[in-house]
A and B are shown apart, each in its own frame.
Chain A
């Protein structure tokens, strides 16, 4: 017996007799757009739906920021996941436009330092070529010191046999590169320019009626799909919801994940500045109220991230440009304390008992960062906090990026942790599909959590430790910090280890 449904897709019902039992084969329900078979590609171009009707996807990525788009690119680059149907939900209008960056634009103050591990992830997913078309700045040297003048550390990428320590890229460049990358792939995707209002996921249950058609609503009521409702009235159904919507994640809130964390009583001022000469080194000086960092962006521009207490930050935001530039140069130079001289704790002779190779940079002297000549952007102020979700995954929901963890910017690690999450999640999804798992199953998603949580928590602990260690002005502690600076500067295995950990090569410091 054959039955043709209205779309011309052939189904077969075969009646079977086994002894006294007669069973009918279910009519294979016409597969929706998540079908992998190529012979259905013509009907896959996204069913035209009326306003208010739902659309079904394999994965709904809520949040089309850098980390959400990186996940989409990563899925598009793997053979087992590139056939998935993905919805991206983000009300940012920039996602609807292509090439929103002009070469003559001044650098945006919102930048990220991408580690070598992230750079190689971007190369794997094919997005780095787009980044290279815009402004980006590799740096291979870094100097870290504090206001006490008791010590400093210089890092050089060649200490750990690398070419670069990292690359500073504007966030809008990263976003546009990832967007271009994902649009150039064959991944079936749809961008919903709206905000998420509500999400519901029901527990698993089996259908009680044999003849029910497996529409989205039925699949949803039986716990096979999550239902997302958007502000513009659309309903999106998905097997898996990925929360990539940032520190104030709505997905995290709706899914009921608890968070722990605290606000640092610090704000960060960020802005773009210009020098008279090119800058190829990353500079960070720990001041009593918080660190000031000067990162090269390229073309004689640098980015300033200055962490301080909230009162000072609102002062500095409102003073004149000249006064602000004077304050910055003061903070990077003689302000708050003297230059470190290497004679205080010896020339590293006390470390000569340690028979390791001395790194190149151990002979580098302390340098003063280049003077800041001009302010090239407005000054923006952000409050800093640490936040961590107690769980990253539950049934049909998983969190990545800032939605799962927010850290202090003092080591430029935040978004790199997010990219690590995206890479691991897409790997886990691929492995799940390889053995036919339902991608929304908790046991699969918990594998992602078990991989990323320890690494993320460890990094957060390290950064938090630094933040606390450097915010206390206490004589013996200052000496200890100085010793730490000297140690990191002269003991090469330690330096190599620090560079490797900060480059994202090892998930846990010192133990791998």
Chain B
């Protein structure tokens, strides 16, 4: 990379290792979103019925699972402990819609897996947009709640929910066009193994979308101190700052799992309007879109 090109980029960009300088930032992209009419695609591909016992070690952490299991009933209470997630949801969906539509075209028939789906907050809108969605979560209660909630709306009742892990699905050789793991990787014990599983679930030239929180001073101040202690948006101890990943680290481990990160964006919260928006600021919450190359 010529030094002149480096110098012409935003200040923080210059100090990045090469991994991130190829990544397009959200604001570089045209603002026109393709308009795709949501179609209800009821076709679900037939599934393998392998029931080989899994011998892959789980990348999940038991205390993390317990944390989520305890508040599972409140997933769909938009004023409850998951309120920040509900408020952030349309913004994350805008990024996913934008990147996946540009990569694949309309969502109809697209097989998407929501890894760590929780109560289905992300899975349901994706299904309404026309995709064939599978949601997995390691916490049994979450899957129950997700299924009960989704069943009431005919457009979302087609979502396939399973209480399992990414590794187990890899063993069953399941493949998906798009693998989405939002706000999960900061809760797993071995992020590198987790990314390898995500990559294994993705078809060739499919898409992988991962979102998490940056490990920076600013994220400590906002996501831990402000969110958990001052504003009490999240229960204390929801996140551990040491398990956050920086964008460079995430890009690197995805690269090692053969996922090429193509686009990245940050989520920024405006306290005056109470709304999240997509931006180039990846210093706290960020989301990355990558494609699987060989």
Q: Which residues of A contact B (CB under 8 A)?
A: 12, 14, 16-19, 21, 23, 25-26, 28-32, 35-37, 79-80, 83, 204, 206-208, 210, 212, 214, 218-219, 222, 224, 432-438, 441-444, 447, 450
- Chain A residues near B161: list those with CB within 8 A: 23
Question: In the complex the two chains form, what is the Cα distance from A446 to B179 in whole Å?
Answer: 32
- How many A-B pairs have beta carbons closer than 8 Å: the answer is 122
- Chain B residues near A83: list those with CB within 8 A: 37
- Across the interface, A17 reaches (CB within 8 A) one of B49, B86, B147, B273, namely B49
Contact indicator A214/B157 (Cβ below 8 Å): yes
Contact indicator B124/A436 (Cβ below 8 Å): yes
Contact indicator B54/A19 (Cβ below 8 Å): yes
- Chain B residues near A435: list those with CB within 8 A: 90, 93-94, 97, 125, 129
B76 interfacial by beta-carbon distance below 8 Å? yes
CB B274 to nearest CB in A, in angstroms, measures 9
- Seed contacts A28-B42, A434-B129, A447-B275; 4 additional CB < 8 Å A-B pairs: A29-B154, A30-B154, A36-B39, A434-B33
For chain B, what secondary structure do more than half of its interface residues adopt (helix, strand, loop), or is it mixed?
loop
CB A469 to nearest CB in B, in angstroms, measures 32
CB A446 to nearest CB in B, in angstroms, measures 9
- Chain A residues near B280: list those with CB within 8 A: none
- Chain B residues near A26: list those with CB within 8 A: 147, 151, 157-158
B148 interfacial by beta-carbon distance below 8 Å? yes
The 13 listed contacts between A and B (C-beta, < 8 Å) are A14-B44, A32-B154, A36-B39, A36-B40, A79-B35, A210-B147, A210-B151, A224-B152, A435-B94, A435-B97, A442-B78, A443-B78, A447-B275
Which of A210, A219, A434 gathers most chain B CB within 10 Å?
A: A434
Q: Which residues of B contact A (CB under 8 A)?
A: 33, 35, 37-42, 44, 46-47, 49, 51, 53-54, 76-78, 86-87, 90, 93-94, 97, 124-129, 145, 147-149, 151-155, 157-158, 160-164, 168, 273, 275
Question: In the complex the two chains form, what is the Cα distance from A25 to B153 in whole Å?
Answer: 14
Question: In the complex the two chains form, what is the Cα distance from A210 to B147 in whole Å?
Answer: 9
Contact indicator A219/B152 (Cβ below 8 Å): yes
User: Which are the 5 A-B pairs with shortest beta-carbon distances?
Assistant: A436-B125, A436-B128, A435-B93, A206-B148, A17-B51
Question: In the complex the two chains form, what is the Cα distance from A31 to B155 in whole Å?
Answer: 7
- Chain A residues near B155: list those with CB within 8 A: 31, 35
Question: In the complex the two chains form, what is the Cα distance from A499 to B149 in whole Å?
Answer: 51
Question: In the complex the two chains form, what is the Cα distance from A435 to B152 in whole Å?
Answer: 19
- Chain A residues near B153: list those with CB within 8 A: 214, 219, 224, 438
- Chain A residues near B33: list those with CB within 8 A: 434
Contact indicator B163/A16 (Cβ below 8 Å): no
CB B80 to nearest CB in A, in angstroms, measures 11
- Chain A residues near B53: list those with CB within 8 A: 19
Contact indicator B158/A37 (Cβ below 8 Å): no
By beta carbon, the residue of chain B nearest A22 is B51
CB B65 to nearest CB in A, in angstroms, measures 16
- Across the interface, A443 reaches (CB within 8 A) one of B86, B124, B168, namely B86
CB B104 to nearest CB in A, in angstroms, measures 16
Contact indicator A16/B125 (Cβ below 8 Å): no
Contact indicator B162/A80 (Cβ below 8 Å): no
Known: A23-B162, A437-B125, A443-B86. A207 touches B152 (CB 8 A): yes
Question: In the complex the two chains form, what is the Cα distance from A65 to B169 in whole Å?
Answer: 55
- Chain A residues near B46: list those with CB within 8 A: 14
Known: A31-B154, A37-B39, A450-B273. A210 touches B148 (CB 8 A): yes
